[in-house]
Structure 1
Amino acid sequence: MKFKIEKHLLKKADELAFITIKNDGEFQIEGYNIPNVGLDVPIKNDVLVKGIKEKTAQENINAMSIADAMIFIMGIDSKFKNNEEYKKFLNAFKDKVKVDLKAYMGYMSRKYFDIGEYTDSLIYLKAMITMNPNDVDGLYHYAIVCQEIAKQYQKDMDNEGMNNFLLEALLKLEMVTEIEPDFSLAYYHLGYHYYNQGQYIKSRSIWNEALKLGIDADLGAEIQENIGKMDFKIQYEEGYNLVFQGRNEEGLEKLRPLEEDHSDWWNLLFMIGLAYKNMNEIEEAKKYFEKILIIKPHQVDAIVEIGLCEAATFNMERAIEHFETAAKIKEDPEILCNLGMAYLNNGELDDAIYYIERAYELDPEDEITISCLKELNKYTK
């Protein structure tokens, strides 16, 4: 099973120490053969320290302590070198002491979740679904804890971490619905994920599925309220899908009626402007992109689009001004290529070379940059 969030957990390995148990030593588990070279096994640092302080290391560092730490490291790092050996150990251990490892991992996860230690809670669930990939309950609760951790990253303004945990939750909830198509709570949460991604049509469909399957009355009322409030967003999504399909006039029929009530929704204004630009109604398109800059003065995509509109009407000086403004906000290969090509079309070869080569430095595999370099080479040979 693949995990999107493992890099965020690896630091938890610092909470473990490793000791070596020997093949011919006193420590043995019936049904498990320690490798001839011995086996490095983990121990949680607090268990080790407690044993040293109380001078009862042998009592504290027992099979259960080792089993718990094995589960913990497997939950941290699914690719840890000894994981397969640890699975053999754990299978023998549970048979010997008659312990339900799934129940134990669930208990430990709930224990940490209840005190707000969400990362530790997640690690036990991650170990559970690593050992049992089709465990629907494990996958579901793992996704829920991922969502809680995403909130923490959001508070810390760490967008990368937040997005990684949200994507992880989304993927695991989708797995739940594939394994058990009647799991209505998974559809409930998935609806929010799709909604937050701007997939309003899919969100409505998923929420309707949750209602059809049957769900708690309060959650059902919440879903119905959400669906009722999103009609205009569904119409927006239908409109921009039509624009991206090249059906610009049909797209405008969906988008333009929304403008009266949502005149400050820059995404809507952008799609209307793009539709007009695609239809070669350049002045009309510029009006919409300029409206965006009144609302969001540094909205770089709108600035670039105005530059492209100016270039389309051969006003290269104005195009260069807008591309330069955009490049100062965001040094992006595509923006730099637009700037370079505007300079090239304006007969300013040195500036064209500088910006296109800079774009290549940033991303030598970018297809637009490679195309611009080929065009530039016609003038430099």
Structure 2
Amino acid sequence: MNFRIEKYLLKKADELAFITIKNDGDFKLEGYKIPNQGLDVPIKNEVLVKGIKENTAQEGINSMSIADAMIYIMGIDSNFKYNDEYKKFLDALEKNINLDIRAYMGYMSRKYFEIGESTDSLIYLKALISQYPDDIEGMYHYAIVCQELAQQYQKDSDNEGMNNFLLEALDKLERVIALDEGFALAYYHLGYHYYNQGQYIKAKVIWEEALNLGLDEDTVAEIQDNIGKMDFKVQYEEGYSLVFQGRSEEALEKLLPLEAEHSDWWNLLFMIGLAYKHMNEIEEAKSYFERILILKPHQVDTMVELGLCEAASYNLEKAIEHFSTAAKIKEDPEILCNLGMAYLNNGELDEAIYYVERAYELNPEDEITVACMRELDNYR
């Protein structure tokens, strides 16, 4: 199982010390044979410190304290070199003292979560689902703790950390419903993940499934409210998808009714403009792209689309103007190629060569750039 958040947990290994248990030493565990070279086992620093303070350090290092630290390091680092050996140790201990390791991991996770130690809680849950990947409850709670930690990273203005924990939660929630299609709360949380990613159709479908599976009255009301409020976003996404499927007339049936109440929503105006452009209604498309630049004067994609509209109407000077402005904001190979081709069609070969070759310098693998280079070869 992959864990995209593991790098955020590795620093917790500093809270462990390692001691070597020798093969011929006093430590024995029925059903487990210590390797001939001995075994490095972890102990939590807090256990050692407590033992030293109470002058009971040796007694503090017992099978259970070792097992707890083994679980901890396995939860921190899924690739730790002794994990397989630690698993053998835990299996033997489970049989020796009638300990339910699975239940213990869950207990320790709850214990730490209740006192606000979310990272430690997550470590035990990660160990749990690594060893028992079919544990649906463990997988669900792991996702919930990931969401909790994402909020902490957000408060610390660490957007990368926040996004990684949210994506980790999303992945594990999807695993939950793959294991149990009737897990209503997983659908409830998944709906928010899809909504926050702008996948409104998917969010609606998932939330409707949650309603069908049965939830408490307050949660049902919350979901119904969410679905109602995002109806226009669902309609926008449907229209957006139709545009890119080449079904522009159908797309406009979805998108145009939204314009009255959302006339300053530039994304909506952009998709309407794109639909008209695909239908070769260039003047109508230009009017929408021009409105966007009033709202967002530096919106590069809109400048490019306006340039393409002007080029399609053989207004090459205006096309060059729009592409040039876009290229100053974002030196992108595709924009530079558009600019170069506009210059070429306007009879300005030197300018065309300059911009297309600059695009090639930025990305010689780009298919559009390679095609433009070939076109230029016909004029050199």
What is the TM-score of this pair, normalised by structure 1?
A: 0.90
Tell me which residue corresponds to 1:351. Answer: 354
Q: Judging changes above 3 Å, is the alpha-carbon distance between structure 1 residues 28 and 310 closer, same or farther for their aligned structure 2 residues? A: farther
Distance 1:56 1:158 in 2: 42
Q: Percent identity?
A: 74
CA contact 1:356–1:373 (8 Å) conserved in 2: no
Residue pairs, 1:189-338, within 5 angstroms: 189-338=189-338
CA contact 1:143–1:168 (8 Å) conserved in 2: yes
Q: Judging changes above 3 Å, is the alpha-carbon distance between structure 1 residues 262 and 40 closer, same or farther for their aligned structure 2 residues? A: same
CA contact 2:357–2:373 (8 Å) conserved in 1: no
Shift, 1:317, TM fit? 4.5
Distance 1:315 1:51 in 2: 83
Q: Judging changes above 3 Å, is the alpha-carbon distance between structure 1 residues 61 and 272 closer, same or farther for their aligned structure 2 residues? A: same
CA contact 2:146–2:166 (8 Å) conserved in 1: yes
**In the alignment, is residue 173 of structure 1 matched against residue 173 of structure 2?**
yes
CA contact 1:359–1:369 (8 Å) conserved in 2: no
Cα deviation per residue 1:92-144 (whole Å; 9 max; x = unaligned)? 12222222222222222222222332222211111110010010000111111
Distance 2:329 2:112 in 1: 43
Q: Judging changes above 3 Å, is the alpha-carbon distance between structure 1 residues 321 and 359 closer, same or farther for their aligned structure 2 residues? A: farther
CA contact 1:5–1:165 (8 Å) conserved in 2: yes
Q: Judging changes above 3 Å, is the alpha-carbon distance between structure 1 residues 280 and 158 closer, same or farther for their aligned structure 2 residues? A: farther
CA contact 2:340–2:353 (8 Å) conserved in 1: no
Shift, 1:19, TM fit? 2.5
Q: Give 1:47's aligned amino acid.
A: V
Distance 2:16 2:333 in 1: 44
| Structure 1 residues without counterparts, runs of 5 or longer | none
CA contact 2:356–2:369 (8 Å) conserved in 1: no
Cα deviation per residue 1:259-291 (whole Å; 9 max; x = unaligned)? 000112122111111111212222322222232
Cα deviation per residue 1:307-330 (whole Å; 9 max; x = unaligned)? 333333344444444344434444
Tell me which residue corresponds to 1:112. Answer: 112
Cα deviation per residue 1:21-52 (whole Å; 9 max; x = unaligned)? 22222222221112222222222233334444
Structure 1 counterpart SS, 2:215: coil
Q: Give 2:360's aligned amino acid.
A: E
Q: Judging changes above 3 Å, is the alpha-carbon distance between structure 1 residues 284 and 176 closer, same or farther for their aligned structure 2 residues? A: same
Residue pairs, 1:43-62, within 5 angstroms: 43-62=43-62
Distance 1:145 1:204 in 2: 24
| Structure 2 residues without counterparts, runs of 5 or longer | none
Distance 2:241 2:104 in 1: 48
Q: Which protein shows a greater Rg? A: 2
Distance 2:37 2:344 in 1: 67
Structure 1 counterpart SS, 2:18: strand
Instruction: Compare 84-93 and 350-359 and name the one that shifted more.
Output: 350-359
CA contact 1:190–1:206 (8 Å) conserved in 2: yes
Structure 2 counterpart SS, 1:358: helix
CA contact 1:344–1:352 (8 Å) conserved in 2: no
CA contact 1:340–1:355 (8 Å) conserved in 2: no
Tell me which residue corresponds to 1:141. Answer: 141
Q: Give 2:32's aligned amino acid.
A: Y
Tell me which residue corresponds to 2:13. Answer: 13
Instruction: Compare 29-38 and 323-332 and name the one that shifted more.
Output: 323-332
